[in-house]
Structure 1
Amino acid sequence: MPEVICTTVYQFPELSDAAKEQARSWYREAAFHDDWWDAVYDDFERICDILGVSLKTRSVRLMGGGIRQKPCIWFSGFSSQGDGACFEATVGHAKGSTREIRSYAPQDQTLHGIAGRLQAAQRQNFYQLHAEVTHRGRYYHEYCMSIDVSRDSPTGQPPAEGSEETVVEALRDLARWLYRQLEAEDDHLTSDEAVEEEIVVNEYTFTDAGRQFG
């Protein structure tokens, strides 16, 4: 025969400290959104546009059966050796990038430096440099990017001495910058304060041991 079982449930503020920790752990493992990095990606795409880095895209099938183009950005993190971020792109000269990046991110000295180095390399080569960035291997960090730098010179001149290395290191630093932003966002979203806020806003309920109910 059917049996009715009554269970007392609690809002997060009503839990003991030990039960709260259990509730936070549940949220981090089971309720954390898969697309938490979207805001970081959106910011990165804007920065790439400013710097003359045109991210490649790939087709991703949606649950409803449609197709969506997503930027070729990947990362792994955040506690293992070899974690990092990488991307695929074509790179060219972006006029006014050093001024624009300072306007967009006035406090970010790392981005200012990347923009300055890319601009200096372009100036050395009469703004004729191009780079092709592709991902290789099964890991995701800055050294998984193959970066081929060339010069579109009408007389067949090669890149000026040292400019290829400048572009390569600037783009690797851009990947490192992205990884740090992702790590910071993850730290913020999984902090006790942020997790507790999400639990309360979504009105999750728990048993007295901190197990999510319902």
Structure 2
Amino acid sequence: MSKVIETTVYQFDELSDAAKEKARDWYREGSFGYDWYDSVYEDFRRVAEILGLHLKTRTVRLYGGGTRQEPCLWFRGFWSQGDGACFETFYSFRKEAPRRIRNYAPQDTELHRITDALQSVQRRNFYQLHAEASHRGHYYHEYCMAISVERDSPTRQDMTAGAEEVMIEALRDLARWLYRQLEREYDYLTSDEAVDEAITANEYTFTEAGRRFG
């Protein structure tokens, strides 16, 4: 014999503090199946273009059967010692990069420092340095990038002393910078403030104990 069971449901702001915390846990566990990092990737693509990085791309299959080209950017985080970000790219000198990066990100002193390091080592080598970074291994952090540096000199001059190391470290610093942007975005999206706003905007309802209803 069928029965009708009535359940009282609550909006988020009607819950107790303990029930709100349970509701937040529910949201955090199941609400990051989308590409939440897209805005960070888009910002990085703009930074890369300013600095003279030409990111490599890979073919990604779509659910509908088609394909599209995605930049070779990867990360894993944010809880283990081996977590990080990396990318695949070709790099060459880009004129006015320091001025342009300061216009684009005026408060980001770390990005300014990386740009200045690239500019300085290029100046010492008559702006003839080129680099290539490729991913290697099964992890995703700055040391998973195999980076080669060459000088395209018409007179076959060698690189100045230490130039290769400076270039490699600058590109690895850029991968570290990308990881910090991803971590910052994730921390914001999972903060109580952002989660509360998302739950309220979607008008989710819960039981008195904070379990999602419906």
Q: TM-score normalized by structure 2?
A: 0.97
Aligned runs of 1:33-182 on 2, under 5 Å?
A: 33-182=33-182
Partner of 1:7: helix, strand, or coil?
A: coil
Q: Deviations over 1:143-179 (max 9, x none)?
A: 1101000011122222111111111010010001011
Partner of 1:63: helix, strand, or coil?
A: coil
In structure 2, what is the equivalent of residue 205 of structure 1?
Answer: 205
2:65 & 2:4 partners in 1: Cα distance?
Answer: 41
1:46 & 1:96 partners in 2: Cα distance?
Answer: 15
1:57 & 1:195 partners in 2: Cα distance?
Answer: 33
Give how far 1:34 is off: 2.5
Partner of 2:130: helix, strand, or coil?
A: strand
1:13 & 1:33 partners in 2: Cα distance?
Answer: 25
- Structure 1 unaligned spans of 5+: none
Higher mean C-alpha deviation, range 180-189 or range 27-36: 27-36
Partner of 2:64: helix, strand, or coil?
A: coil
In structure 2, what is the equivalent of residue 187 of structure 1?
Answer: 187
Give how far 1:2 is off: 4.5
Partner of 2:6: helix, strand, or coil?
A: coil
2:129 & 2:2 partners in 1: Cα distance?
Answer: 75
Q: Deviations over 1:19-74 (max 9, x none)?
A: 11110000000123431111111111100000001111111111122212111111
Q: Does 1:27 find its partner at 2:27?
A: yes
Counterpart code for 2:204: Y
1:92 & 1:71 partners in 2: Cα distance?
Answer: 18
Partner of 1:203: helix, strand, or coil?
A: coil
Give how far 1:208 is off: 1.1
Give how far 1:6 is off: 2.3
Q: Percent identity?
A: 67
The alignment of Structure 1 onto Structure 2 pairs a total of residues equal to 214
Counterpart code for 1:98: P
Higher mean C-alpha deviation, range 143-152 or range 158-167: 158-167
2:141 & 2:77 partners in 1: Cα distance?
Answer: 10
CA RMSD of aligned residues (A): 1.1
Deviating above 3 A after TM superposition, structure 1's stretches of 4 or more consecutive aligned residues are: 1-4
Q: Does 1:4 find its partner at 2:14?
A: no
Partner of 1:26: helix, strand, or coil?
A: helix
- Structure 2 unaligned spans of 5+: none
Counterpart code for 1:25: D
2:118 & 2:15 partners in 1: Cα distance?
Answer: 54
Counterpart code for 2:90: T
